[in-house]
Chain A
Amino acid sequence: MKEYDIIVVGGGPAGLAAATTAAKCNANILLVDDGLQLGGQLIKQTHKFFGSTEQFAGIRGIDIAHNFIDEISHLSNIEILTQSTATGFFEDGVLTILEGYNGNRLSKVKPRRLIIATGASENMLSFINNDLPGVYGAGAVQTLMNVYGVIPGRAVLMVGAGNIGLIVSYQLLQAGIEVKAIVEALPCIGGYWVHASKIRRLGIPIYTRCTLKEVKGKEEVESVTICNIDDKFNFIPGSERELSVDTICLAVGLSPLAELLWQAGCEMAYIPELCGYVAKRDENMKTSLDHIYIAGDVAGIEEASSAMVEGQIAGLNAAASLGLYHEKYRELNLAFHRQLLQLRHNEVSESITRGIKKATL
């Protein structure tokens, strides 16, 4: 059985940052990802990032992924396994990996340290006919359009006015698809005003305190009934409106994908600010188990920018815990923590900061 200093599960922004950082500390690394190519959500992000230059502001997500992939190709101590899913982590420290697109080979590997950067899964909603073809998660719509160049439909209802809902709506419009409306159950728009304004300037209505009630259609989505809701999220009778659409796009939040951490027996906590159950961790992203670190959305739903910095912290410290200290360990660790503080120094991040405080060991 092959052994590694560090195995990183997940090749999105957090995992890529963790693997490259740990590799620069001379650890030998296996990076496992279930996608066709590395990059996670970055490869569908055709928009430019905000923030400071340290977190790649002004660069498109897909280019950030390419930069990482290019960097990895020059690091001989990182092995890559794509189209591979880490399916189990066992008491004897063995990680099982199902390899190949059709999952036709199960292999066992043993890490001295494990960095879990599995990201998140998209939240689903319960409504009538939610299983009809034409009901998509926003992630799937982005994959179809931005990775494969396939439009999901002709007329869309977007559910959710957070940043993902707003950005994907704009991308749909750019692709020439009609966005009939955006509905948001909360009393106000969750995403940045700059994104919402772009949508409103194009005349697309954003209805708050409103959600979808029912989808109609025989073989596929033909129309949708939207309805206003009260403070307790109950439908207000008589406020129903019907829209003719062939696609429903759900952008109603994400949940941390923490199965491997549960399996491993990490101390877990339900933290609403971080969008679900997360592993408790110290400030260097180490969980309650000394050999397991976390980074990115699996540690709490946030943004790609902070996921990358968490990945750097996890990579740097997982390596250090094996005695593989980066020559500038102290300096780098301080700089990464300072960057995280800066990223979270805004109104939107107040609840995230509160959540992280609760999740800290």
Chain B
Amino acid sequence: MDDNTIICRCEDVTWGEIREQLDKGYTTMDEIKRITRAGMGPCQGKTCQRILLHAIARYLNKKVEEIPLSTFRPPTKPIPLGILAGGQDD
């Protein structure tokens, strides 16, 4: 894969930036997410998570199911903070 290929479109993260982290030894989805912000944009990883998962597996020469996923937490889609702050009180 070419280094300039974009993996996460929401946060403009390229394969080069991700490969750099893999070379440093950061090889879990969570580490890469926290360092590069891949998967933290509006789509919440729906587009890039699968590509990233397969790329990590290929880099480590492991099976896809051997790569742990990031923890899934609410919300599944970004919510403006104002909505949460002004939310119902039940």
A residues with a Cβ closer than 8 A to B are 1, 85-90, 96, 98, 103-108, 121, 123-128, 130-131, 255, 257, 259-260, 262-263, 270, 276-277
Contacts and interface: CB of A to CB of B under 8 A. Distances in A.
A90 B74 CA distance: 8
A257 B46 contact: yes
Interface of B: 1-2, 4-7, 9, 12, 15, 44, 46-48, 50-51, 55, 64-65, 69, 72-77, 79-80, 83-84, 87-88, 90
Contact of B79 (A98, A131, A259, A263): A98
Contacts of A277: 69
B2 to A, nearest CB: 5
A87 B77 contact: yes
A131 B64 CA distance: 25
Given A105-B83, A128-B2, A87 B51 contact: no
A104 B84 CA distance: 10
B51 to A, nearest CB: 5
A96 B72 CA distance: 15
A100 B55 CA distance: 36
A139 B87 CA distance: 34
Contacts of B12: 131
A128 B90 CA distance: 49
Contact of B50 (A88, A89, A124, A130): A124
B5 A130 contact: yes
Given A126-B51, A255-B50, A270-B65, A87 B73 contact: no
B90 A108 contact: yes
B32 to A, nearest CB: 15
Given A88-B74, A260-B76, 14 more contacts: A87-B76, A96-B74, A98-B77, A105-B83, A106-B84, A107-B88, A108-B88, A108-B90, A121-B46, A123-B50, A124-B47, A259-B44, A263-B76, A270-B64
Given A106-B84, A270-B64, A270-B65, A85 B15 contact: no
